[in-house]
Amino acid sequence: MKRQWKAFWYLLPALLFLLAFLVYPLVDVFVYSVEEGYNFASQTYFGVGGYNYSYVLHDPYFLQAVKNTCILVVVTVPLSTGLALLISLGLNSIKPLRNLFQTIYFLPYVTNTLAVGLVFMILFQKTEYTDGLINLLIQWFGGSSVDFIDGPYWAKMFVLCFYTVWVVMPFKILILTSALASVNPDYYKAARVDGTSRTRVFFCITLPMISPMVFYLVITGFIGAFKAYSDAVALFGADLNAAGMNTIVGYVYDMLYGDSGGFPSYASAAAVILFAIVLTITCINLLVSKKHIHY
């Protein structure tokens, strides 16, 4: 018993930090989210209840943000993981210039997302003076130009998804190429001796072997996409509500510091809702992955 107390003393510094900077803020967000009419300046509130949640859930901006975030998650996570898998398979099967290609594919990871967002904006934006490079291409192939930055919703969503996939791919490619390289080549030799077709090798050997890494990427991908914010700002500017391209994290930020801000209770409620969504999705992911990862 005495020994155990001693162990706690050793843990105390770390525990104190965790309590102060992790547990306390987490709990505090929950507390804020149920305090009705909280005033930031006077630190007072009227009562405790579910009004903040009700307000947030009925706020059209929040609903728009949830919709945007969900589309972003559903489109970009499978797309970026799939594309990354294809590219890694390609990288793994070429010998000459592999390192060069690996470096090129990894470059987006080390570049500044805001700067790249600016470049994307210039590529896609339509102004009074120019239609932008993408529209020139569309017109060249006989289509009519679209304003991707200030135009219809689907066009803006397309740019946001495109940009997100572009930003998250390098990391996934890096992880998947190393996962592919770590598969013991004897498995492939054994498969060759048995005359296994290429598709069967991929689905029955390669994919199961790298499945832990694929699931890791899917789980972190989901979490990352749900927390998307800076990508949208990089493309559409700080006033995301006006552009109709807000995300849940963007909504939380706006509620705190935006032009319509100063409502920490609403922000906290939105944050708690986001937390609940991410927690649910991650649990589902883990349950599914448990069924499919065998070792």
Partner 1 sequence: MKIVLENLTKKFPSRNKKEPKDVTAVDHFSFECPDGQLISLLGPSGCGKSTALNLICGLETPTEGHIYFGDSDVTSLTPELRGVGMVFQNYALYPHLTVKQNILFPLENRKGKDRLTREEMEKRAFQAAELVQIKELMDRKPRELSGGQQQRTAIARALVKTPSVLLLDEPLSNLDARLRLRTREEIKKIQRATGITTIFVTHDQEEAMSISDQILVMRDGRLIQAGKPQEVYDSPNCLFVAKFLGTPPINVFRGRIRDKTLYIGEDAIWKTDLKDQEVFAGIRPEGFLLDSDGPLCCRLNGVEVMGRDVSILSSHPACEAAFVRSIIDSENQMDVSRETVRFSLKPGKVFLFCKDTEERLPFSAERSSL
Q: Residue 294 interacts with partner 1 (CB under 8 A)?
A: yes
* Integer angstrom CA distances of residue 138 from 101, 132, 133, 148, 271: 28, 10, 9, 12, 40
Distances in Å between the Cα of 164 and the Cα atoms of 76, 108, 151, 233, 255 are 7, 11, 19, 12, 24
DSSP code for 44: B
Distance of alpha carbon 271 from alpha carbon 281, whole angstroms: 15
Tell which residue, 193, 196, 203, 221, has the closest CA to residue 282.
221
Which of residues 128 and 186 has its CB atom nearest to partner 1 in the complex? 186
To partner 1, the closest distance from the beta carbon of 208 in angstroms equals: 4
3-state secondary structure of 36: strand
The answer to whether residue 200 forms part of the interface with partner 1 (CB under 8 A) is yes
Binding string, residues 247-276; x marks residues near partner 1 by CB under 8 A: ------------------------------
Residue 288 is a binding residue for partner 1 (CB under 8 A): no
Comparing CA positions, the residue from 155, 134, 119 lying closest to residue 235 is: 119
Pick between residue 6 and residue 192 the one whose CB is nearest to partner 1.
192
What minimum distance in Å lies between the beta carbon of 82 and partner 1? 21
Interface stretch with partner 1, choices 19-27, 56-64, 145-153, 198-206 (CB under 8 A): 198-206
d(CA 65, CA 81): 24
Question: Which of 184, 198, 287, 291 contacts partner 1 by CB under 8 A?
Answer: 184
Q: Which is nearer to partner 1, 39 or 182 (CB)?
A: 182
Least spacing, CB of residue 164 vs partner 1, in Å: 32
191-199, 217-225, 231-239, 247-255 -> range binding partner 1 (CB under 8 A) = 191-199
d(CA 27, CA 275): 12
Contacts with partner 1 by CB under 8 A lie at 184, 186-187, 189-190, 192-197, 200, 204-205, 208-209, 211, 294-295
